[in-house]
Structure 1
């Protein structure tokens, strides 16, 4: 099945037909219409919704373009070993870039995930515009996002600022054209986040299957929705939200760099173990954590 639509503009018929194909694929594999894993950039397969909500999310938030194997919708997860061919310039350049990031050993092998990550990092470290020596696309985005947070800039305002900056810079610049496009760049590097609704009194997080349809805390009975000045519930507006930054994608990105991966495993592979207390890893607490 053709999945080139993953990179298509969300306003096109191609993208719409692709979303329909994805949902139909899930139905054909026995998935419940009311419990479809959402592959949008915001949910990132962490939540399941009704099919129509999933469809709305995909048009509103966009889809993860790397989700080419639909393992969350019934497709078998078959991982094929990459074949390194010296004549393949793309693989060769990826390996050379990996080596520049850290000194790779001869037996280092790039997984498909690592290759995608390295390709993305390489692209983001290109000059912000042709001839620019002070800023890369990533450096500029980080500074712009800091300003957005510092001054409470709305998403629409941030999109307008990006458009203005892009129009002021020379042609061929790498400035994203919208907030969603800029956010996708950071998410692709494992810098995404999950927003989890929480009880306003911190009793619990609404993140389990049993919590999806609850509107009041089952412990303190407080409403899960925000109250306006009149004390009325603003339906679908959460009273409190926890911003969770997943750890695993960040650790995986660290291990994509051979030199950093070697440092991260030093205490297990190269630390002197002679019964003396030489490193925190020699402590009983550290050992208890390893056992668990």
Structure 2
């Protein structure tokens, strides 16, 4: 039985070995030759060490060195690798934390000296590795709509046992085309469509998913900016890469019937299709269906 995973979803890019320069290419080729069980055990050990570091005093919020762990995907005999890069991702997560929350709140979780040292280390590392980018994005307690527009229902892979997973895999070219189509639709969509069906008895900007009555897309949903951000990120990688949207630890929060019925990529496609058709009410209804699927998960997040 696999160990419990963090309550996050992941968006991964698997690049072919040809995308890596030597000696990294040879190192990943050797890593891919290891058994899948050995690779998973190494990733689990790495996660345990990082969690132990977070519990230390002072906390180790950024690993002292980058890991040698990765996810491996072999298609038609070709090896594709998605490095985990927990050190780089920790630096970027700290930067996002500082940008998104008041300084006093951030320092309640991470001591100022630790934050300052992490910033210095990141800046020094960037001078040597200006073009390295993270191959993984994560989102806690949800699957972002901007990720779902990259994939199609036909890309869906579900397993309930022996290992439970729900994921989507698509070629990079298809993900880029999907992002471009989504952006064209969103840029043509007027602001009025997004708010066309606000309930008359609700304050402007408030959104409540409900079974009855008209609903509206939430006023603070900036899907266009989110898709633009993901699209720019995808452009950084080899065109022969593969994109994977993995529910990861979120599958442990959903019963088997909910996983079987989960076709979130299809719902996201319906949101965009109805927006393209100029039907804001139907788009909002499709979005509400998507949101209701995650209400139970959101309740667990609030409980934590």
TM (norm. structure 1) is 0.26
More helix by share: 2
TM (norm. structure 2) is 0.25
More strand by share: 2
Q: Which gives a bigger RCO, structure 1 or 2 (Cα 8 Å, sep 6+)?
A: 2
